[in-house]
Structure 1
Amino acid sequence: MAAVTRCSFHLVRRLLSHQYKRRCVRVQTIKTHKDQQPPAFLSKLNNARLFHTTSAWRGPILQFKLSDIGEGIMEVVVKEWYVKEGDKVSQFDSICEVQSDKASVTITSRYDGVIRKLHYTVDEIALVGKPLVDIETDTGPEVPQEEDVVETPAMSREEHTHQEIKGHKTQATPAVRRLALENNIKLSEVVGTGKDGRILKEDILNFLAKQTGAILPPSPFRETHESQRPKEKQPATQPATQPAAPKPVLTTKDVTESLKGFHKAMVRTMTAALKIPHFGFCDEVDLSRLVALRADLKAISEARGVKLSYMPFFIKAASLGLLHFPILNASIDEACQNITYKAAHNIGLAMDTSQGLLVPNVKNVQLLSVFDIARDLNRLQALGSSGQLGTSDLTGGTFTLSNIGSIGGTYAKPVILPPEVAIGALGKIQILPRFDSNGQLVKAHILNISWSADHRIIDGATMCRFSNLWRQYLENPASMVLDLK
């Protein structure tokens, strides 16, 4: 009997040993980064007893899929990876930035673990519903040992918060995220001033102060560093910031590349715009009184933490005009059978950014003051310059103004952005000689305006009357007070 027992024992040990060796060979085929130490579970496994299996030391490898980011988007372009194979990640850590034809999106991790595979390279097209990365999770021995690879289920609405729609990775501590949540602030709208764009508590408080109009004292860090800087005499008027001139490029052969992201969206939008019969109308506006009014209000606005330009007045005057001519704030269906009059005045501002032409919009201008509009424009301009404009800022527009004068030029022929039916292009403000009501030659601040309207539903007389009303509000800005809500 003892001999039978010893024989059975040796047989079981031999089988377990064979199984152990087979699993060890399988585990050691995992690739590791050149500069990275082998995973901890490999060293543990070498010292483990024979009856241990690899599943006790290794979590499942999950395929993290690109979920639906809305707006009917089915593919995106991978713009940048924030991780590489072998990197450890935690929940909410940024994994990569992708770009659709509407906005940029930062994908953040849903798991704690180690990146094992990147499924795409930079500038490759990633498909919604397909894996972005494989993540080996650190979940301990309680994980079921049935399979080594598990696919992630479809993301729920709550899990969708791991994908923050904006143009750059968001980094913030849990305390900062909780502060933003308590004050109903989207992190995608806050510009981080910490290292690598990290959002600090001070950034949240400053953003909240701008929203409420409160004035916060400077932080000790900023106060100390600003006091050490030599004070420079600032000119009375700051010229418009001009982008650096592009460098000349000499090539010896033709280069062909596919259209992606915002360029692809522009092709689609302008192709649709070509179907619209455009009616053009141009005029000039004397902004002399508005120039004086802005000079009086500029210091007050800056004391509240908001830079006041002329654009908030242009936008508010347009909204007041749309109240009298609602057909300019409408849309028409593809069959040209129905007109929808929009209740909200979501007025867009065309911006020249490093990502191309973007048109974010200020929501519900009909309910906002000039100061409210200026504050939101400051936010949009900050997000645009840092590449952080989100889908909510770039969609839903009902009327557009294009400030081509910030670059140069007086007149333009703006192209309507479907499904909108009207757009205006602002030229640069020039100091020109004009005659006043008494026939005296005076110095005037002249702005040229160019309008385009959908001639299928808007006639020339309507466009002209709207332009005249818009001009009257700006030439006599005090009259705007009578119609402000």
Structure 2
Amino acid sequence: VCIHRVRSCSSIRSIKSKYVCVFDKSALKCSHQQRLFRTSPVSCGQIVQFKLSDIGEGITEVTVKEWYIKEGDSVSQFDSICEVQSDKASVTITSRYDGVIRKLHYSIDDIAFVGKPLVDIEIDASKGVAPEEDVVETPPMSHEEHTHQEIKGHKTLATPAVRRLAMENNIKLSEVVGTGKDNRILKEDILNYLAKQTGAILPPSPKAEIVPPLQKTEAVPAAPKDKARRIPVPVSRPIAFSGKDKTEPVTGFQKAMVKTMSAALKIPHFGYSDEIDLTQLVQLREGLKPLAEIRGVKLSFMPFFIKAASLGLLQYPILNASLDENCQNVTYKASHNIGVAMDTEQGLIVPNVKNVQVCSVFDIAVELNRLQSLGSAGQLGTSDLTGGTFTLSNIGTIGGTYAKPVILPPEVAIGALGKIQVLPRFNGKGEVFKAQIMNVSWSADHRIIDGATMARFSNLWKSYLENPASMLLDLK
């Protein structure tokens, strides 16, 4: 007779004999069978290594930006575990299991690799979970992997994070139209559905401008008000400086900028600049702003710039194309996915407005509001940041008139918009009048775009903005 004592601790199981008495071959056979018998844990759970799965776009490593849990915390399915940032976007990783966090494999700002363990989760095997062999050997479901839900005979595709967002807002996924691949429901689809139901649109988060403190100088008598400038008083005493150099790794969006700009150096840039009289457009926007505010949308000049660019691209499609690496083929893009450079706390990002050629000025304004809101919160998705075909950089909101924009591969053209200035100009009668002037700087890939094409496109774009009513003739 063999009496066994089972000792189970976490993922380690051992079967230890207390008494072993072998009388004959049959008893020995019985004892052998008992040693192969696999028991279930009684009081302790199983340890699952939750691995970082592929999040697409060929990304192999990410930076851990924030942990939402710590060791010892209990988590449920779809609970947020951490936020990671690739060189393209930030992604929130959610849990697949119900259990207790036993180990975090990375610290903040560490580099996590796809396919490697992210956290260890102790799950309760008594709740009908898969056996240990299945749990350990099978990689956890990817954050971006499709999950299925049977609804009236068909499957709805959505990620766990999207399902949780829908559940928190009491939204039935069967009522939402998916815009992703294979009709997959995206986070943006849920937000757009909420906006249509409630009529509320998230306004862009204002970014506080950092004002440098005034330098303390020696007391100087106040200058008279009629003096245009104040003569600075030099500081006589030397300044003691004890700072030290600091070295930081290149990560996140900055790392993406290094890759993109290194590739851009291979492109021969052609520059072209001009000035635009926006006097009529300024008046038109002032009249439309109250109507847009009633609809809950902030109307800037950018939607007009983007729509005018799309109308110009219809006449000059070579500017909405791409050139292959061997410079043997040119691909003309059917969609006008126009990118807009944004300055955020995470760095420079360039989300794009999809299919501008079929959007109205108001539609573009709504999408820009959404992108600005997500960009300010650092929540832009990969779909928002990829697929661009043409780019406009509104550097004038910060300052400056002319710039030398750098093309974003695989695009072939980009425009930089300066600030709007009130300047004197002459009309057709030789009379001086007050004009709203903006400067534009274009860069084009000189391998496939010549100067004449760039100039003609710029002239057409300029005509739309200087006479906004002319855009009505070409709107579709």
What's the TM-score once normalised by structure 2's chain length? 0.78
Give, in whole Å, the separation in 2 of the partners of 1:389 and 1:338: 32
Tell me which residue corresponds to 2:196. Answer: 208
Give, in whole Å, the separation in 2 of the partners of 1:254 and 1:277: 36
Do 1:180 and 1:187's aligned partners in 2 also have CA atoms closer than 8 Å? no
Tell me which residue corresponds to 1:263. Answer: 254
Do 2:96 and 2:140's aligned partners in 1 also have CA atoms closer than 8 Å? no
Give, in whole Å, the separation in 2 of the partners of 1:298 and 1:143: 57
The answer as to 2:149 corresponding to 1:183 is no
Shift, 1:207, TM fit: 1.9
Shift, 1:335, TM fit: 0.7
AA of the residue aligned to 2:92: T
The answer as to 2:456 corresponding to 1:470 is no
Do 2:50 and 2:140's aligned partners in 1 also have CA atoms closer than 8 Å? no
Give, in whole Å, the separation in 2 of the partners of 1:343 and 1:144: 48
Shift, 1:136, TM fit: 1.2
Aligned to 1:268, the other structure's residue is in SS state helix
Give, in whole Å, the separation in 2 of the partners of 1:62 and 1:373: 46
Q: Pick from 85, 90, 96 the counterpart of residue 99 of structure 1.
A: 85
Tell me which residue corresponds to 1:124. Answer: 110
Matching of residues 360-379 of structure 1 within 5 Å: 360-379=351-370
What's the TM-score once normalised by structure 1's chain length? 0.77
Do 1:242 and 1:407's aligned partners in 2 also have CA atoms closer than 8 Å? no
Structure 1 unaligned runs (5+)? Answer: 1-7, 28-52, 191-198, 218-239
Matching of residues 47-62 of structure 1 within 5 Å: 55-62=41-48
Q: 1:430 to 1:482 in 2, by over 3 A?
A: same
Do 1:312 and 1:374's aligned partners in 2 also have CA atoms closer than 8 Å? yes
Do 1:62 and 1:152's aligned partners in 2 also have CA atoms closer than 8 Å? no
Do 2:340 and 2:394's aligned partners in 1 also have CA atoms closer than 8 Å? yes
Do 2:200 and 2:296's aligned partners in 1 also have CA atoms closer than 8 Å? no
Aligned to 1:423, the other structure's residue is in SS state strand
Tell me which residue corresponds to 2:341. Answer: 350
Tell me which residue corresponds to 1:31. Answer: none
Aligned to 1:282, the other structure's residue is in SS state strand
User: Which deviates more, 258-267 or 390-399?
Assistant: 258-267
Structure 2 unaligned runs (5+)? Answer: 14-38, 148-156, 179-184, 216-240
Aligned to 2:434, the other structure's residue is in SS state strand
Q: 1:356 to 1:115 in 2, by over 3 A?
A: same
Q: Percent identity?
A: 67
AA of the residue aligned to 1:78: V
AA of the residue aligned to 1:364: N
The answer as to 2:474 corresponding to 1:483 is yes
Tell me which residue corresponds to 1:30. Answer: none
Which of structure 1's runs of 4+ aligned residues deviate more than 3 A?
A: 22-27, 141-149, 154-157, 159-165, 170-173, 177-181, 184-190, 203-206, 214-217, 245-248
Tell me which residue corresponds to 2:407. Answer: 416
Tell me which residue corresponds to 1:399. Answer: 390
Aligned to 1:140, the other structure's residue is in SS state helix
Give, in whole Å, the separation in 1 of the partners of 2:289 and 2:261: 37
AA of the residue aligned to 1:136: E
Tell me which residue corresponds to 2:235. Answer: none
AA of the residue aligned to 1:457: I
Shift, 1:59, TM fit: 2.9
Give, in whole Å, the separation in 1 of the partners of 2:274 and 2:384: 30
The answer as to 2:253 corresponding to 1:253 is no
Q: Pick from 63, 70, 73 the counterpart of residue 77 of structure 1.
A: 63
AA of the residue aligned to 1:158: H
User: Which deviates more, 372-381 or 143-152?
Assistant: 143-152
Aligned to 1:150, the other structure's residue is in SS state helix
Do 1:189 and 1:379's aligned partners in 2 also have CA atoms closer than 8 Å? no
The answer as to 2:160 corresponding to 1:174 is no
Tell me which residue corresponds to 2:209. Answer: 243
Q: 1:140 to 1:284 in 2, by over 3 A?
A: same
Give, in whole Å, the separation in 2 of the partners of 1:326 and 1:143: 56
AA of the residue aligned to 1:83: I
Q: 1:274 to 1:62 in 2, by over 3 A?
A: same
AA of the residue aligned to 1:174: M
Tell me which residue corresponds to 2:29. Answer: none
The answer as to 2:317 corresponding to 1:326 is yes
Please identify which structure carries the higher helix content.
1
Do 2:48 and 2:136's aligned partners in 1 also have CA atoms closer than 8 Å? yes
Do 1:346 and 1:399's aligned partners in 2 also have CA atoms closer than 8 Å? yes
Shift, 1:144, TM fit: 6.8
Matching of residues 102-117 of structure 1 within 5 Å: 102-117=88-103
Q: 1:341 to 1:172 in 2, by over 3 A?
A: closer
AA of the residue aligned to 1:451: W
Give, in whole Å, the separation in 2 of the partners of 1:475 and 1:24: 72
The answer as to 2:151 corresponding to 1:158 is no
Give, in whole Å, the separation in 2 of the partners of 1:145 and 1:376: 47
Q: 1:215 to 1:155 in 2, by over 3 A?
A: closer
Give, in whole Å, the separation in 2 of the partners of 1:333 and 1:432: 43
Shift, 1:158, TM fit: 2.1
The answer as to 2:444 corresponding to 1:453 is yes
Shift, 1:458, TM fit: 0.5
Shift, 1:176, TM fit: 1.7
Aligned to 1:429, the other structure's residue is in SS state strand
Tell me which residue corresponds to 1:381. Answer: 372
Do 1:63 and 1:134's aligned partners in 2 also have CA atoms closer than 8 Å? yes
Tell me which residue corresponds to 1:359. Answer: 350
Shift, 1:351, TM fit: 0.2
Q: 1:128 to 1:245 in 2, by over 3 A?
A: farther
Give, in whole Å, the separation in 2 of the partners of 1:71 and 1:253: 39
AA of the residue aligned to 2:210: A
Give, in whole Å, the separation in 2 of the partners of 1:262 and 1:456: 28
